Amino acid sequence: MENEEQNPVRGGILGLVVGDALGVPVESVSREALRREPVTGIRGYGTYHQPPGTWSDDSSLTLCTADALCEGYDPERIARRFVDWLYGNAWTAHGDVFDVGITSAEAIGRLQHGVPHHRAGASGEFSNGNGSLMRILPMAFYLRHNDRAGWFEPVREVSAITHAHLRSALACLYYVHFAAHLCAGAAPEAAYRRSNEDFQAALRRHDIPGDEAAHFSRILDGGIDRLAEHDISSTGYVIHTLEASLWCLLHATSYRETVLRAVNLGHD
């Protein structure tokens, strides 16, 4: 039987779900509270009063995306899977949706009422939560053997099902580049360097406005790992989530250390 090092797709999905389950009981808990009582393993109940090992919408929507991609790339199919989740409890841990972000809920509600996938997502600047970033991992697995120059549009389409602002799409694109490098066997430090190169090339290729590119400056200057913990925010804002995830990975030497560090940053 293959282990997760031999099957990075399975390992990546399982790693995401386990990390999610670690964090569910303490979602929205402050960093200060978690310093006093840090998470050291799987807990139960807490924020949503769910049993140990329960995953959230993060995992459910990731699994919906992966499920849809098994039949090929079709954003409409992905959108239908999201509707199946919110209204039919597909890919939930216990047959019940107990948590969903406002932006995602509103977009999926529009899908349920017949709005096409390319018009359902919120496009305003204040709709840049991490709701599309948290579920985009399967796109790295799907696209990893394709020409990177063609990645932006499909990533943007999948993000836009719920989060249609350019900033969310760009954050998803960076994440997909980084995850694909890890999937190919790169060490985190090398994946960071190569992803910066890929992302900067994409910014030029797609004529991304400078004011949007500027939101990624702390990542692209190559020093996100040199920031202190107090400089890392862990809110639900998509840039904060991307920065925090990179910081945790680049400050750890194992999967366990990475996910525990991420959970104990607190908040979202």
pLDDT tens per residue across span 202-235: 999 999 999 999 999 999 999 999 999 999 999 9
% of the chain residues with pLDDT over 70: 98
CA distance 78 to 66: 9
Q: Check: pTM over 0.95? Answer yes or no.
A: yes
pLDDT tops 80 at residue 56: yes
Encode 157-198 in three state secondary structure. Answer: HHHHCCECCHHHHHHHHHHHHHHHHHHCCCCHHHHHHHHHHH
Residue 122 dihedral angles phi and psi, to the nearest 5°? -75, 135
CA distance 191 to 78: 28
pLDDT class of 186 with cuts at 50, 70, 90: very high
Residue tagged 């386990």 (tokens): 18
pLDDT for 34 beyond 60: yes
pLDDT at residue 227 in the model: 98
Tell me the chain's radius of gyration from C-alpha atoms.
Answer: 17
Assess whether pLDDT exceeds 60 at residue 5: no
Instruction: Please give the pLDDT value at position 33.
Output: 98
Is domain 8-263 in CATH 3.30.1220.10, yes or no?
no
Angle between helices 152-160 and 166-183 (to 10 degrees): 120
Look over the chain and give the mean of its residue pLDDT values, rounded to a whole number: 97
* H or E element that contains 57: helix 57-69
List the one residue out of 60, 59, 68 whose CA is nearest residue 19.
Answer: 59
Q: What is the pLDDT of residue 1?
A: 45
Does residue 146 carry a pLDDT above 70? yes
Q: Is the pLDDT of residue 245 over 80?
A: yes
pLDDT of amino acid 153: 99
The confidence band for 4, taking pLDDT boundaries of 50, 70 and 90, is low
Calculate the alpha carbon distances from 120 to 73, 113, 160 in Å. Answer: 18, 10, 8
Inform me whether the pLDDT recorded for 35 exceeds 70: yes
Reply yes or no on whether the pLDDT at 74 is more than 90: yes
pLDDT interval class at 19 (50, 70, 90): very high
